[in-house]
C-alpha cells in the first residue's frame, strides 16, 4: 500500500488520511476502509461500527480515527477527542434505542483489562440486563 508513513501515524484531519494509517493496526485499517466494518456513525474525528462478535443486542465500538493505544493515552493527549468519543457513544445508544433502558460503556485497557486491540475503543453494550461485576 502506497504512502504508509510508519506505524501509528494516523492524522484524522489530513486530506489524504489513508496515507497515514498504520497497516499494523486493525482499527486503523477499518478507519481507512481497507478492512470492512458495519459503520453506524461517523464524524470528522470518530468512527462507530458494530462489534464483529456482539456480546449484547447492541454492541458497537466507538473509536478515535487517530491512533492511540488506549483510552488513557487518548484522554491525556487529546481530552477533547476523548469527549467526542463519549458523545458519539451516547448518540449510538440513542440511535439503537437503548438510552432509556440503559447501557454500559467499557474501555478495556491492557492485558488484565481484557484489551485485545490496542487502538482506543469504547464498547457500547445494551439491549439486555448487564450483570455486575463483569467477569
Minimum Å gap between C-beta 26 and ligand AMP is 6
What is the number of the residue whose Cβ is closest to ligand AMP? 108
Contact call for residue 108 and ligand AMP (CB under 6 A):
yes
Q: Which residue in the list 13, 41, 67, 121 is annotated as catalytic? A: 121
The reply on whether position 95 binds ligand AMP by CB under 6 A is no
Q: Does 99 bind ligand AMP (CB under 6 A)?
A: no
CA–CA dist 59, 46 (Å, integer): 16
Q: Say whether 121 is catalytic.
A: yes
Considering only 32, 37, 47, 125, the residue that binds ligand AMP (CB under 6 A) is 37
Interface with ligand AMP (CB under 6 A): 26, 35, 37, 49, 51-53, 61, 108, 114-117
> What positions carry a catalytic annotation?
121
Amino acid at each position: 500500500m502506497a504512502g504508509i508513513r510508519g506505524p501509528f501515524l494516523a492524522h484524522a484531519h489530513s486530506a489524504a488520511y489513508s496515507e497515514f494509517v498504520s497497516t499494523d493496526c486493525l482499527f486503523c485499517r477499518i478507519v481507512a476502509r481497507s478492512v470492512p466494518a458495519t459503520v453506524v456513525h461517523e464524524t470528522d474525528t470518530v468512527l462507530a461500527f458494530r462489534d464483529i462478535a456482539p456480546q449484547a443486542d447492541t454492541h458497537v465500538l466507538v473509536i478515535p480515527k487517530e491512533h492511540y493505544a488506549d483510552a488513557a493515552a487518548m484522554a491525556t493527549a487529546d481530552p477533547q477527542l476523548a469527549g467526542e468519543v463519549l458523545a458519539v457513544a451516547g448518540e449510538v445508544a440513542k440511535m439503537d434505542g437503548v438510552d432509556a433502558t440503559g447501557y454500559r460503556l467499557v474501555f478495556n485497557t491492557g492485558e488484565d483489562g481484557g484489551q485485545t486491540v490496542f487502538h482506543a475503543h469504547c464498547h457500547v453494550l445494551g439491549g439486555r440486563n448487564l450483570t455486575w461485576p463483569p467477569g
